[in-house]
C-alpha cells in the first residue's frame, strides 16, 4: 500500500544525528556563504566518485549515452504532443517554449528506468514519462512567477512570464498540467504490445499516483509551506524543512519512479522499495540544489544563483552548514542505493547511476 503524506509527520527518510547538530548551532546566512572551502568540495566529490567507480565495476554502463538517448526520445514525444502554430497561438507557443527549453529530463529518465527494472519495456512508460516532464515544467513556470519566486532566468533563458507575460504563463502552466493527464489517459499514447488485461488498471493507478504526488498532499503542499516560511523571523526546524522538500521536490521524483514501476508491472513490494529509493534521491536532489545555490554562479547553474540566500529562504546549508549538508547528501545516496539491492543489477544500473548523477551534478 502506498504511504500517504501527513503534515510534518515522520517520513521514511530520516535525518538522524543531524537534528541535534542543527539545533545546537544553526549557521547564519552569512556564515553559509563564508563557509565555502575547496577541500570540502573535493572530499564530497571524492566520496561520490569512489562510489560511482564501484558501481561501474559491478556493471558496465554508459550513463552519458543512456541519458542522451532517453532525453532525445522524450523530447520527440514532447514536441509531438503540443501543436505548433495552431490557435490559440500565444498559448501553444508559451507551452512549447517552456517545455522544449532544454533540461536534463531526469524525471522522465527515472520513469523509463523504473519501468525497465520492473520488467516492462521502456516504450510502455514513454507517455507517463512525458507527462511527468509536463507537470515538472508547469511547476517551474508557476514557481518563477513574480507572486512566487519571482525569477527571470530558467535553463539559461528568460522565464516564460518574461517572454509571454504573466497571464499567458499562468495559463500555459495550467494547460501543461491538463495535457499531462490527457496524455497519460489516452489509449493512443501507448504501444500496441501492452497487456490488454492489465494495462488499463495500471494506467488508472499511475494517474492516481501522479495526482496525489502533485496536489495538496504533495508538490503544492510543499510550495505552500515554503512560501509561508520564506522571510519569516521564526527559526524553521529541520523537520519542517524536510517536509517542504519531501513534498515540493521529492514528491514528483517519487511519482516518476513509482509510475514507471506500476506501468512496468512491479509488485507492491518492489513499488515500495522504489518509492523509498525515490524519496531518498528526491531529498538528495534538494540538498545538492541548496549547496549549488551558494557555491555556483548563475552562468554555471543556468538560473539565478544565490537567490535562496537573498530571499532569506530556509535551506540545508543555512540550517546545517555546508559540511553537514554534504554529509547528509552522502547518507541519502547510500540509502537510495540500498533500496536497489534486491533488483537485477543490469536492469537497476540506470537507477543506480541516476542516483550518483543527482549526487554530484554541477547545475
The domain segmentation of the chain, as residue ranges, is: 61-360
> For position 311, what pLDDT does the model report?
62
CATH number for the domain whose boundaries are 61-360: 1.10.600.10
Distance CA 155, CA 144 (A): 12
Report the candidate in 333, 334, 326 with the shortest Cα–Cα distance to residue 358.
333
Q: pLDDT tens digits for 222-276?
A: 999 988 887 777 778 899 999 999 999 999 999 999 999 999 999 999 999 999 9
Residue 265 half-sphere exposure toward CB, CA atoms < 13 A: 12
- Element of type H or E holding 236: none
Q: What confidence score (pLDDT) does residue 113 get?
A: 98
pLDDT of residue 302: 64
What's the grid cell of residue 250? 521529492
Residue 7 CA, chain-centre distance (Å), reads: 20
Ranges in the chain, pLDDT < 70: 1-59, 298, 300-312
The predicted pLDDT at position 353 comes to 97
What pLDDT, on the 0 to 100 scale, is given for residue 293?
Answer: 87
3-state secondary structure of 157: strand
Could you tell me the pTM of the whole model? 0.82
Report whether 135 contacts 176 (CB < 8 A). Answer: yes
% of the chain residues with pLDDT over 70: 80
Cβ–Cβ under 8 Å, residues 283 and 246: yes
Amino acid at each position: 500500500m502506498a504511504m500517504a503524506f501527513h503534515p510534518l509527520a515522520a517520513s521514511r527518510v530520516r535525518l538522524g544525528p543531524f537534528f541535534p547538530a542543527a539545533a545546537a548551532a544553526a549557521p547564519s546566512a552569512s556564515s553559509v556563504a563564508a563557509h565555502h572551502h575547496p577541500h570540502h568540495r573535493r572530499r564530497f566529490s571524492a566520496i561520490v566518485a569512489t562510489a560511482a567507480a564501484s558501481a561501474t565495476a559491478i556493471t558496465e554502463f554508459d550513463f552519458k549515452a543512456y541519458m542522451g538517448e532517453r532525453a532525445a526520445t522524450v523530447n520527440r514525444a514532447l514536441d509531438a504532443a503540443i501543436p505548433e502554430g495552431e490557435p490559440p497561438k500565444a498559448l501553444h507557443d508559451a507551452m512549447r517554449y517552456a517545455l522544449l527549453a532544454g533540461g536534463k529530463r531526469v524525471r522522465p529518465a527515472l520513469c523509463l528506468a523504473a519501468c525497465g527494472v520492473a520488467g516492462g519495456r521502456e516504450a510502455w512508460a514513454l507517455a507517463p514519462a512525458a507527462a511527468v516532464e509536463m507537470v515538472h515544467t508547469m511547476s517551474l513556470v508557476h514557481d518563477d512567477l513574480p507572486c512566487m519566486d519571482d525569477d527571470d532566468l530558467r535553463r539559461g533563458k528568460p522565464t516564460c512570464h518574461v517572454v509571454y507575460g504573466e497571464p499567458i504563463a499562468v495559463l500555459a502552466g495550467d494547460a501543461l498540467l491538463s495535457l499531462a493527464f490527457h496524455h497519460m489517459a489516452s489509449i493512443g499514447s501507448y504501444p500496441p504490445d501492452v497487456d490488454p488485461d492489465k494495462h488499463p488498471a495500471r494506467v488508472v493507478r499511475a494517474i492516481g499516483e501522479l495526482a496525489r504526488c502533485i496536489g495538496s498532499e504533495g508538490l503544492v503542499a510543499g510550495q505552500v509551506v515554503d512560501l509561508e516560511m520564506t522571510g519569516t523571523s521564526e527559526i524553521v526546524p529541520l523537520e519542517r524543512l524536510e517536509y517542504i522538500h519531501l513534498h515540493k521536490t521529492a514528491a514528483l521524483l517519487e511519482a516518476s519512479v513509482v509510475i514507471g514501476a506500476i506501468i512496468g508491472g512491479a509488485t507492491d513490494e518492489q513499488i515500495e522499495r522504489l518509492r523509498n529509493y525515490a524519496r531518498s534521491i528526491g531529498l538528495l536532489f534538494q540538498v545538492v540544489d541548496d549547496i549549488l545555490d551558494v557555491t555556483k554562479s548563475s552562468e554555471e547553474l543556468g538560473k539565478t544563483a544565490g537567490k535562496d540566500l537573498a530571499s532569506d529562504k530556509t535551506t540545508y546549508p543555512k540550517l546545517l552548514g555546508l559540511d553537514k549538508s554534504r554529509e547528509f547528501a552522502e547518507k541519502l545516496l547510500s540509502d537510495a542505493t540500498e533500496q536497489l539491492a534486491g533488483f537485477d543489477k543490469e536492469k537497476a544500473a540506470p537507477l543506480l547511476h541516476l542516483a550518483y548523477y543527482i549526487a554530484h551534478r554541477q547545475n
